[in-house]
């Protein structure tokens, strides 16, 4: 396969380069840019010295069509709206890591993203690339809308419960914590080192763009779910997301029953690890890998279930999951190029 | 005043030394220890070089009686059970920073702490030292049970709501995050640098000792509250606690109404800062100071209130609050020695 | 005293506000700005809420003259060149935290700062405010040029040796490490959290602006010193500088002899702590305080002396030292407002 | 190949498991322990869940002989002294990551390690496994003594210069900085999170065990080198070493000449990257990879050369280099299993 990346100078792009370097079916990688044409990727990322000696190319549909089979878009909002359709029409597979094509209803997109939505016709062609639950559709997709980082951790953590009848469906609260890499590479006051280290922040209260994305999937899975409460926080670390999820049980249950439900749901999933009794995952236990680790418990005193779901936001929450989708779309073994043992410590 | 500290080699003790150094009414400080007699405090804490050149003394009630007016106990579980009563009987004020005297019901203590409770007679003499709500009792107390760090942030964040009729009283969820200093000074696997940095952990799920302490106060304030859900997390930073608190509104409300409720409740409190509309505190904004900063919001979509309460766990969550209690007990202006501007960045 | 600050929205300014809040002889503080007039300082620094409710004023010499006795300039390069002279002529004391007035030779300034130097007449009026060695001149100064952070740690660490005849004067190497706050408050790629955390960087190799400042003082102290090697590094932490200083002994010496030399040199200095045999300071041991802690050793194998000097770059390396100078200029006890115990942990 | 690891519960062992999981010629891995027999490795390292489901076996030479071809010893001091010889006699390759077999002179070992040295006969059989300079000997070695982390960064940074005639050979100073993982997995006061975060420390001044190891190699390379000055520091991060190396040039040189020397020396080395003019590596640029990145400069003012050498101490400084040696010993392509792009950010 020949692969193109648009947006290689961002963190999602850099991580694609790290992972694709190990992918046995990727022969060539071409880097495109609409703003930094001519720059060598090593100038932007010295850690790639002597590994990728490549210049960024301008995006030209005729060249793209000639040069690559699949295009990953690791781009800021608005770019995919413009390019994903054209690239797909040119016959290339598209895997879009941005949020542009995730929300089915353009008015919802516009309300939360505060910008114009992509054309409906384009959105409708995109398949939401959460492999554990949408694998069949991904197989035949031409355009993948790769899930957001928070939605990945949250949805994998909630799916078995939401698809069951064990919970009160208006009781879902997600307290999410992320490393700073999710905020991207552009320097800002909020992620300035002196203001972020030895600090813990809450941000975008009741307003994070990933809320409607999570709600959309939950609602697809179970019509009884409409809204959730979701509050994101910034942790003084670079990588890692933990979603601590609180749900009220509809009736008395046990930790054993819940664990069995999750074990059954993810029995054949290589990238979801349901932890045993009394063990809860820390974010570092999936660092640099494509795993989503899940721990859970039930509190008899309160009748409340707590689920702990962790991922590396740059891997399973972005580029790793994108490659997982790439593998599925192309009939490769799903873990190809992703057999990464978490880096610890 | 002449002041004694038992447990000066722990973090609570070190912080008392930092703060009391600036207290105009403290003439002398004597350090007691039941295990490290004879050691100079500078050996344990080189940062105190040339500031405190003091040896730890063995604890002897007759000497204590002679030497000091007030004793701060910054000790591990079990020490206060043994000493607080004796010291009080000797005529000294006691301010206990441990959890030994906080829970009124010994069986609850024993269930959560997994150890024998202090004598009931001793517990009954202790006043729970949360100045903003218990000031009158503190004034005449002989023994103060200084609140835990998580309870301080949580209770100050919840009090106005719990004392109102605005919420569903079985809906309280507290997702709490703390820096590592709350875990104390003894090295352990969980706080080993290589395992804690670039990591985010949940711990003591459904089992943290501060749960019954929080519930006890909430129940005193409003009999309708019985249990809460409380999950603590460890953040890769040293100081700071954020409690993100979720409560279901009983009926439609507004952010303005809520803010007014909080502003009113804390109008005369110098150490509680209710933030304006749209502003939520980060932990660093109270770093090194005795403030508790509170932000809040109401989500019309879900009918849920989110309260964000932050403190420096070593100051307002421990030693600073202890000195605040000391001031109240002795009729000093409440902020004496505590006029610390947060250290930023 | 009535005090003015120009540049209160930077870190040096914020630290002045923290420290001056405790200064018994400061009755009023006025904040001036040449770019953010009208903004309330709380908007820029929420940690100052309810402590400083002050608007930034535009700088007008007539008002300055009326309103304040002393002006602290905590400003980027170029501002002091313009304002320090005018303010001094208006009769106010000037304490300049920028580098504009530190180098006596304008051509050296221009070579290292790559910008136009301040007028020579202005530079000549400024006294270099390193109290431990320039105290007498500071007493009668009208304009203080407050030392840079690296020079403070380095010069206090080197002075006794350089003023002795024990070393080879062309052998001085300073390997310096700083937290990120020294880089200021403007977000940049180098201090972007995701690129700085879990990372250690060297920067401005052979080119740091503090090199000529250090050399100037060393040369004043001993004509035999002309150049040094100085390499600065960025540590993933916010506050703190360690200078590890390597010097070749001219002849065999002992650790005891060296320690005695340092003890003697700093015997009467309240803010310099020479550590005992075998103890070397860590940056956190001076965190938030005005101390400079020094450890030293001699290696018989190599004939080399290693000196370890640590400061909090925002306090002794900037605002704390500025207040120390303020005290000296005004005849206040030198430690007034600076009796800060280091914050640990 | 079938591979055994003694000491899998330490960080070196965990990293071997991460890397060997990707090694195409390793069919089986057996974990041995002399203290934790029967424990499943997942209990010690939850991040290995569902990847390595293996129990630790007791070490029995007959079984080792049967079960494996190569044994990696990732053990504390003293273990290899006891086992390396026996395992080699049983016919297995030995790669020892400890310091037991690195120093040729037992009296030097005993002076620096303060413990009994391994038998001379054993030490003499061990080849120092620095592939870039000892490759030929490694090819036929039966026992590899894998270099220490600081020596790897320092020696690769110094070799071209020391083998040249460009420098003054008694002028070498190494100011080294390491993440905390080098201190191992046992909790201690020095690496307790609350004492290490927001802190920078110097340690083992003039006494680090890696000093004689570095000197031994430098002296082998050039008899004119006898002693060096080496001071190690702890950085508040987990992984990464930077050695900042200072050397006096014997006569005037240029950065171009020096870079050419290094480029030439490492022209065929896949794991050493000499950076271009004006670029200096940061530790994160080799994070998780087997690279050693080198930057250098010459200062005309002082006649001093500064070399900056960075590695990931757990990879190139330990387990990655061990696998590199394993590849060489067995005739595999040297980069097999080590094609790791640095993880950034």
How many other C-beta atoms are found inside a 10 Å radius of the C-beta of residue C57? 17
Q: Would the ipTM clear 0.90, i.e. be above it?
A: yes
Q: Residue A184 pLDDT more than 90?
A: yes
| Residue D121 CB coordination number (10 Å) | 8
pLDDT tens across B205-214, in order?
999 999 999 9
Are C17 and C116 part of one and the same domain? yes
More confident residue, D34 or D331: D331
Q: How much is the pLDDT for A34?
A: 85
Chain B residue numbers touching D197 (CB-CB < 8 A): 180, 193, 197, 236-238
Backbone phi and psi for residue B71, each to the nearest 5 degrees, phi listed first = -120, 125
- If asked whether residues A289 and A261 sit together in one domain, one would say yes
Same domain, A129 and A172: no
| Beta-carbon contacts below 8 Å between A and C | 58
Q: Does residue C106 sit in the same domain as residue C69?
A: yes
Dump pLDDT digits (tens) for B83-141: 999 999 999 999 999 999 999 999 999 999 999 999 999 999 999 999 999 999 999 99
Edge-first strand listing for the sheet containing A143-145: A57-58, A28-33, A2-6, A70-73, A93-96, A143-145, A126-128
Structural domains of chain A, count? 2
Instruction: Indicate which residue of A149, A158, A196, A217 is catalytic.
Output: A149
Could you tell me if residue B322 is inside a domain? Answer: no
Three-state SS sequence of C43-62: HHCHHHCCCCCCECEECCHH
Q: Which residues of chain C have pLDDT under 50?
A: none
- What pLDDT is recorded for position C289? 98
Mean pLDDT of D281-285: 98
Question: Does residue D342 sit within a domain?
Answer: no
Of A21, A342, A345, the CB nearest to D339: A21
Q: Quote the percentage of chain D above a pLDDT of 90.
A: 99
Active site residue B92: no
Distances (CA, A) of C78 to C35, C96, C98: 14, 11, 9
Taking contacts as CB-CB distances below 8 angstroms, the residues of chain C near B198 are 197-198
Rounded to 5°, angle at Cα D11 from D213 and A243: 145
State residue D311's pLDDT score.
98
Question: Taking 90 as the threshold, does the pLDDT of residue D34 lie above it?
Answer: no
Q: B105 and B49, same structural domain?
A: yes
Task: For D267-278, write each residue's pLDDT tens digit.
Answer: 999 999 999 999
Q: Is residue C77 part of a domain?
A: yes
- Contact between C23 and C14 under an 8 Å Cβ cutoff? The reply is no
Any bridge partners for residue D28, and if so which?
A: D2
**Using CA atoms, how far apart are residues C43 and C46, in angstroms rounded to an integer?**
6
A190 to chain C, closest Cα gap in Å: 9
Q: Are residues A118 and A197 in the same domain?
A: no
The average pLDDT across D108-132 equals 98
pLDDT at B34 over 90: no
- Asked if residue D238 has a cis previous peptide bond (ω within 30° of 0), the answer is no
Distance from CA of D293 to the nearest CA of C (A): 13
Inter-chain touch A197–C11, beta carbons under 8 Å: no
For B283-310, write each residue's pLDDT tens digit.
999 999 999 999 999 999 999 999 999 9
Position B326 in a domain: no
Q: Is the predicted pLDDT of residue D261 greater than 90, yes or no?
A: yes
- In chain C, residues with a C-beta closer than 8 Å to the C-beta of B46 are 275, 279, 281, 285
Closest partner residue to C206 (CB to CB) among D175, D284, D297 is D297
Instruction: Give the chain B residue nearest D199 (alpha carbons).
Output: B238
Mean pLDDT of A219-227: 98
> What value does the mean pLDDT take over residues A230-257?
98
Catalytic residue among D41, D48, D149, D211: D149
Residues D249-258 pLDDT 10s: 999 999 999 9
**Whether the Cβ atoms of residue B201 and residue D47 lie closer than 8 Å to each other:** no
Say yes or no: B155 and B134 in one domain: no
Asked if the structure places residue A109 within a domain, the reply is yes
- The answer to whether the Cβ–Cβ distance between A11 and C189 falls below 8 Å is no
Whole-number pLDDT of residue C196: 98
- Domain boundary among the residues D100, D124, D146 is at D146
Q: pLDDT band for B198, please (50, 70, 90 cuts).
A: very high
What pLDDT is recorded for position C34? 85
Q: Where does a domain end: C146, C179, C196? A: C146
Q: What is the CATH number of the domain that holds B274?
A: 3.30.360.10
- The CATH code of the domain that includes B92 is 3.40.50.720
Nearest to A304 by CA among B212, B225, B110, B205: B205
Backbone angles phi and psi of B84, in degrees to 5: -55, -45
Looking at the structure, tell me whether residues B104 and B215 fall in a common domain.
no
**Given C181, C183, C193, which is nearest A191 (Cβ)?**
C193
Task: Say whether C193 and A197 touch across the interface (CB within 8 A).
Answer: yes
Neighbours of chain D (3+ CB pairs under 8 A): A, B, C
Residue A166 lies in a domain: yes
pLDDT reported for residue C226: 96
Out of B199, B244, B345, the one facing A231 most closely (by C-beta) is B244
Query: Same domain for D199 and D211?
Result: yes
Instruction: Note whether residue A246 is domain-resident.
Output: yes
Q: What is the pLDDT of residue A227?
A: 98
Outline where chain C has alpha helix (H). 11-20, 41-44, 61-67, 79-89, 106-113, 120-125, 131-139, 149-162, 193-196, 210-221, 255-265, 320-329
Q: Quick one: B78 and B186 in the same domain?
A: no
Catalytic residue among C95, C144, C149, C162: C149
Domain span holding position B251: 150-313
Identify which of A316, A342, A326 has the alpha carbon closest to the alpha carbon of residue A26: A326
Same domain, D132 and D250: no
Provide φ and ψ at A240, rounded to 5°. 120, 140
Q: Residue A337: inside a domain, yes or no?
A: no
The pLDDT value recorded for residue C77 is 94
Q: What six digits make up the tokens of C330?
A: 């005004």
> Across all residues in chain A, what is the average pLDDT?
97
Nearest C-alpha of chain A: how many angstroms from B133?
A: 26
Out of B95, B129, B146, pick the residue that ends a domain: B146
Q: Please tell me whether residues C208 and C251 are part of one structural domain.
A: yes
């Amino acid at each position: 396969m020949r692969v193109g990346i648009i947006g290689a100078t961002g963190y999602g792009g850099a991580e694609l380069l790290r992972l694709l370097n190990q992918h046995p079916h990727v022969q060539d990688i071409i880097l495109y840019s609409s703003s930094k044409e001519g720059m060598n990727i090593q100038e932007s990322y010295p850690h790639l010295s002597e590994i990728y000696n490549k210049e960024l190319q301008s995006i030209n549909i005729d060249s793209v069509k000639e040069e690559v089979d699949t295009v990953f878009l690791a781009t800021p909002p608005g770019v995919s709206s413009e390019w994903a359709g054209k690239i797909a029409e040119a016959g290339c597979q598209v895997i879009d890591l941005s949020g542009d094509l995730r929300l089915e209803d353009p008015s919802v997109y516009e309300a939360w993203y505060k910008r114009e939505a992509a054309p409906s016709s384009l959105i409708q062609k995109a398949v939401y690339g959460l492999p554990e639950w949408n694998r069949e559709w991904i197989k035949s997709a031409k355009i993948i809308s790769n899930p957001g980082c928070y939605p990945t951790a949250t949805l994998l953590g909630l799916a078995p419960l939401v698809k069951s009848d064990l919970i009160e469906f208006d009781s879902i609260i997600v307290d999410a914590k992320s490393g700073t890499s999710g905020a991207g590479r552009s320097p800002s006051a909020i992620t300035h080192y002196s203001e972020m280290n030895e600090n813990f922040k809450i941000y975008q209260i009741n307003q994070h763009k990933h809320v409607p994305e999570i709600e959309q999937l939950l609602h697809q899975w179970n019509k009884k779910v409409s809204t959730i409460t979701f509050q994101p926080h910034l942790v003084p670390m670079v990588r890692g997301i933990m979603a601590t999820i609180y749900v009220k049980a509809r009736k008395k249950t046990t930790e054993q029953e819940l664990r069995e439900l999750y074990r059954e749901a993810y029995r054949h999933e290589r990238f979801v690890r349901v932890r045993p009794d009394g063990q809860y995952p820390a974010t570092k236990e999936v660092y640099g890998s494509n795993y989503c680790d899940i721990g859970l418990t039930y509190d008899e005193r309160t009748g409340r279930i707590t689920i702990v779901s962790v991922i590396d936001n740059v891997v399973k929450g972005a580029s790793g999951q994108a490659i997982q989708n790439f593998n599925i779309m192309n009939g490769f073994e799903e873990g190809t190029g992703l057999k990464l043992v978490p880096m610890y410590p």
